[in-house]
Amino acid sequence: MASLMQELKSRGVSPKRALGQHFLIDQGIAQKIVRLADLAPEDCVVEIGPGMGVLTFLMLPLVKKLIAVELDQGMADWLREKGQGIPSLTVVRQDVLGFDFAKVSRDVGRRINVVANLPYNISTPVIFRLLESREALAHLTLMLQREVAERITASPGSKAYGPLSIFTQLYTSPKIMMRVPPEAFYPRPKVESALVRFEILERPRIAINDDGFFQKVVRASFAQRRKTLLNALTGSSLSLGPKDKLAAALEAIGIDPRRRAETLDLAEFQRLAEALKKYTNTG
């Protein structure tokens, strides 16, 4: 690994703070990540932010096709050079938030797998982008800041539970596979990381009639965590009308208006969104 980093330095390529780059350098952990990704010979993998290619070149012999999506021009050029002559490798220099996962899935004729060591500063937007593209995906294996991993897998009633928990658990089955110490990366981050595997569900865990409105209700409910559900929704941009009528609407579906959003489970948020949808249409 030292020779690899020396080569990068000789080319003037180094981790960029603006891109949140922390390169994985621990070969043992890299091998474990690839094992936990559970890849098959016919798989197509999209790797987000491959960096120095530590995971890339471990995965290549295991899969049919690997598309490395890298925003950093210097790293993308370096990966193309290192992967020259490997027909199963495609390096795409692009922001992953604009990457078309559905097109790749159509092109290869199957759902694709995503593996990534995500920069901390874009991990949440990338997760939501992946959830939007879920019909094209089979499973995700993502390295994340430990705090984000704990939010994803949090249960109702915990401080970590919030919109990220709800949306990921609605569409996937997430599980923390292992924790990864700062010394596994260069440069060392100030926090621990965790590897999370997401199995994409065939259908949402709870049937949602209007995804967009459901998301608005969840976000509004958590916008002011310390407030009761009634006060949070009353002060939201959903324009739900008089407070007393909103309280009555909550009580009618068996949800105490004095509860806080963090105590509601998926099924209760589904009932809440359906009730508020009818309430806004009639009230």
CA 214 – CA 147 distance, rounded (Å): 25
Half-sphere exposure of 229 (CA within 13 A, CB side): 23
- Of 283, 66, 238, 23, give the one whose Cα is nearest residue 229: 238
SS3 label, residue 117:
strand
User: What does each C-alpha distance from 21 to 11, 26, 72, 156, 253 come to in angstroms?
Assistant: 17, 15, 10, 32, 47
Fold of 2-200: Rossmann fold (3.40.50)
Q: What is the pTM of this model?
A: 0.91
CA 214 – CA 204 distance, rounded (Å): 13
- Of 110, 166, 99, give the one whose Cα is nearest residue 138: 110
Asked if the peptide bond before residue 187 counts as cis, ω within 30 degrees of 0, the response is: yes
CB 57 within 8 A of CB 82: yes
pLDDT tens for the chain, residues 1 to 283: 556 666 666 666 665 565 556 789 899 999 999 999 999 999 999 999 998 899 999 999 999 999 999 998 988 998 999 999 999 999 999 999 999 999 999 999 999 999 999 988 899 999 999 999 999 999 999 999 999 999 999 999 999 999 999 999 999 999 999 999 999 998 788 899 999 999 999 999 999 999 999 999 999 999 988 999 999 999 888 888 889 989 999 999 999 999 999 999 999 999 999 999 887 765 5
CB 47 within 8 A of CB 56: yes
CATH class assigned to 211-282:
mainly alpha
Show Cβ contacts of residue 87 under 8 Å, excluding neighbours closer than 6 positions. Answer: none
Domain residues of the chain, as ranges? 2-200, 211-282
**Residue 197: Cβ-neighbour burial (10 angstroms; 0-12, 13-18, 19+):** buried
